[in-house]
Amino acid sequence: MADLPCRQVVEVITSYLEGSLGWRERRRFEKHLRGCDACSRYLEQMRATLDVLGTVPVDTLSPEAQSTLLEAFRDLRH
């Protein structure tokens, strides 16, 4: 099973936090987090933000993360 690239972790992070990720993806996600400080920190940030606001404040994210997240949200609405 190939490791998830960081970009894909960012794409599925909202699904992960919503608990809508399949167990297979979830395992790959958590495996990646164990070996990647950047994504671990990102997940903690997202989780804390969701706890406080109940939503992801897109305009506080970096332009890269923003466009990646917007793509993910667009997919979710379909």
Interface contacts to Zn ion, rule CB under 5 A: 6, 36, 39
Nearest to 56 by CA among 14, 7, 10: 14
Q: Which is nearer to Zn ion, 21 or 39 (CB)?
A: 39
Q: Which is nearer to Zn ion, 54 or 72 (CB)?
A: 72
Least distance to Zn ion, CB of residue 34, Å: 10
The Cα 66–Cα 35 span in angstroms is 24
Q: Which is nearer to Zn ion, 36 or 50 (CB)?
A: 36
